[in-house]
Amino acid sequence: MPKGEIVLGALAPHPPHVVYAENPSQNEPISEGGWETLRWGYNRLARKLEKLDYDAIVVFTPHWQTYVGTHFLGLPRFKSKSVDPIFPNIFRYNYDMEVDVDLSEAMCEKAAEAGLITRMMRNPDFRVDYGTITSCHMLNPKWDKPVITISSNRNTHYYSAEVMIEQALALGKACRDAIEESGKRVVLVSSHSLSHRHFVTESPLPEDMSREHIYNHSQYVWDMALIKLFREGKMKEAIDIMPEYTEQTIAETEGGGIIWMMGAMGMPDYPAEIYGYQSVIGTGNCIAAWVPEPDAREIVL
């Protein structure tokens, strides 16, 4: 069996607004569009993924928050309706998702061997979080690949950003080991925004783009500083500034997603493909991809 590999890692923000704006049949609310810069970027990355040969998508989500270790989905299929508790007016999505349980169990086992606290989630009534659903829908609207969701352990709040980074890197390495032993080709997804300060009011028409902008200039400057490092392939430097970045922008990086992904991908030193940056209800959102195979890399934006 050939060694498994990570074929692409994507930073894939999950504001439910982008699914709402796409008007897929699975989502109940109807929109007039909105957030095109992000959606068109997602659409382009989805086209690239269609051409890639891969077996499964592994998603690290900050909206499955666990305090006792890291949890992995452990049943072959989840079918239900996801209603966003924060934005129920725009996201009520009927999902039907397959899970690669073998790979999920293998990652859980490897993480445990690395000293992390882990648990498989095998309750059939469990509702998959909207972060997973949003990122997966935008990257693979056909839903024709099995998914594995990994929960976000709340180390940052319980201990510190430094502890979170150490554990997320260890989790990433464990997941890579499991992927390599599985012989599978896998896409990793770090599902989160960058800066994460929201407006606390909403316009009558949520997709009214005349009202959309970043929460404040400081958030924007920090986001751009991080994206510059992405472009330059300086991911070790990006992770090094993550504690300060996260504190200054109350960023969703506090969940550890991109750190986990960089740990799994061996801390890339090549430029990321940037697919778009746009604010959603004030938060900063960047779609980016890291592609280990040099011949498959592009300059997108």
Partner 1 sequence: MDEDIIEFGLYVPPHPHPLLSPEANDGYGRLRAAYDECRKRIEESDADLIIVYSTTWPSIIGHQFQANPNSEWIHVDDDFHYLGSMPYSFTMDAEFAASCVEKAESRGLQARTVNYDAFPIDTGSITALSLLNPDNRLPATIVSSNMYANRSETIVLGKAIRDALKEGGRKAVVVVVSSLSNRMFTEPIDPSEDRIHSQKDDDWNRKILEFFKDGRLEDLSQLSREIHGQIRVQKVVAYKPAWWLAATMGQHNNYSGEILAYEALNGSGGAVIQLTPATGSVGDKEFDEDDVEYYKGDREVLNKGMLE
Distance CA 138, CA 197 (A): 23
Determine if 205 is a binding residue for partner 1 (CB under 8 A). no
CA angle 274-279-280, nearest 5°? 120
Minimum Å gap between C-beta 151 and partner 1 is 7
Position among 1, 201, 204, 299 found at the interface with partner 1 (CB under 8 A): 201
Minimum CB separation of residue 136 from partner 1 in Å reads 18
Site map for partner 1, 125-144, x if CB under 8 A?
xxx-----------------
Q: Is 274 left (phi over 0), alpha (psi -120 to 50) or beta?
A: beta
Binding mask 72-91 for partner 1 (x = CB under 8 A): --------xx-x-xxxx---
Is residue 123 part of the contact set for partner 1 (CB under 8 A)? yes
Stretch that binds partner 1, among 50-58, 100-108, 180-188, 198-206 (CB under 8 A): 198-206
Helices 161-182/101-113 angle, 10° precision: 130
49/45 Cα distance (integer angstroms): 6
Is 115 buried (19+), middle (13-18) or exposed (0-12) by CB count in 10 A? Answer: exposed
Give the three-state DSSP class for 237.
helix
Q: How many CA atoms lie within 13 A of 191 on its CB side?
A: 30
Closer of 64 and 230 to partner 1 (Cβ): 64
Query: Nearest distance from residue 164's CB to partner 1, in Å?
Result: 12
User: Which member of 121, 133, 164, 229 binds partner 1 (CB under 8 A)?
Assistant: 121
The reply to whether 200 sits near partner 1 by the rule CB under 8 A is yes
67 makes contact with partner 1 (CB under 8 A)? yes
Assess contact for 275 and 16: CB atoms under 8 A. no
Of the pair 215, 275, the CB lying nearest partner 1 is at 215
Stretch 151-190: interaction string toward partner 1, x if CB under 8 A: x-xx--xx--------------------------------
Residue among 3, 79, 122, 228 that touches partner 1 (CB under 8 A) = 122
- Least distance from partner 1 to the Cβ atom of residue 292, Å: 32
Torsion of CA 83, 87, 91, 97, to 10 degrees: -50
List of long-range contacts for 217-226, beta carbons under 8 Å, 24+ apart: 218/248, 218/249, 219/195, 219/249, 219/282, 219/284, 220/195, 220/284, 222/194, 222/195, 222/248, 222/249, 222/251, 223/194, 223/195, 223/249, 223/277, 223/284, 223/286, 226/194, 226/286
Taking the least distance from each CB to partner 1, the nearer of 90 and 274 is: 90
Over the window 262 to 281, marking each residue x when it contacts partner 1 by CB under 8 A and - when it does not, the resulting string is -------------------x
Q: Which residues bind partner 1 (CB under 8 A)?
A: 64-69, 71, 80-81, 83, 85-88, 92, 117, 119, 121-123, 125-127, 151, 153-154, 157-158, 198, 200-202, 216, 281
